[in-house]
Amino acid sequence: MDMSGQYRIQAPRDVVWAALNDPEVLKRCIPGCKELEQKSPTELAAKVSLKIGPISANFSGDVTLQNLNPPAGYTIAGQGSGGAAGFAKGSAEVALTEVEGGAETDLAYTAKAEVGGKLAALGGRLIQATSKKLADEFFSAFARELNGPDEPAVDAEPEKKKSRWSKWLGR
């Protein structure tokens, strides 16, 4: 099943790129993420708890960053086993485009997901709806992470933006 979406991030592209590669940011944004450990610059181990329809499962798996093209985008791929519940795997192509003279970034994604075991028995429509919801939750949380809980007004003070972005810019 394929899903796609686009978000406007109120931060320069290099800031968004750095956040997409920050395990702490990813952990806060992945729905149900309990643990996310960086094994290498492109590999992470994850533990996620999810409820899909009537099935609740704890997944353990790996997340890999592929096709790196800094700061324009990459592919984030993951797969996990939920024990008796089955397995889930998926990937998302993420593209970052500068807008507003470089002050903002459009994040576009195209994601694919696949499930097996008891999860697959739930039916395609429920799985597709849940997969779309989880993708939207991740990218919405990511946008809020950088934009702040309330999108700042256009005339927000640059000092506030600088302090919010300084972590990813190294300043």
Determine the Cα–Cα distance for residues 63 and 4; give it in Å rounded to an integer: 19
Contact 7, 143 (CB under 8 A): yes
Chain position carrying tokens 């994601």: 111
Predicted pLDDT of residue 129: 87
CATH dotted code for 2-169: 3.30.530.20
- pLDDT of 170: 56
- Rounded to two decimals, the pTM is 0.82
List the beta bridge partners of residue 38: 44
pLDDT digits (tens, 9 = 90+) for 112-140: 988 888 888 887 788 888 888 999 999 99
pLDDT of 137: 93
Could you state, in order of their start, the residue ranges of all structural domains in the chain? 2-169
- pLDDT per residue as tens digits for the range 9-66: 999 999 999 999 999 999 999 999 999 999 999 999 999 998 888 888 899 999 999 9
- Paired tokens of 39: 């094994």
User: In the numeric block, which tokens belong to residue 50?
Assistant: 């999810």
| Average pLDDT along the chain | 86
Task: Tell me the pLDDT tens digit for each residue of 158-170.
Answer: 334 444 555 555 5
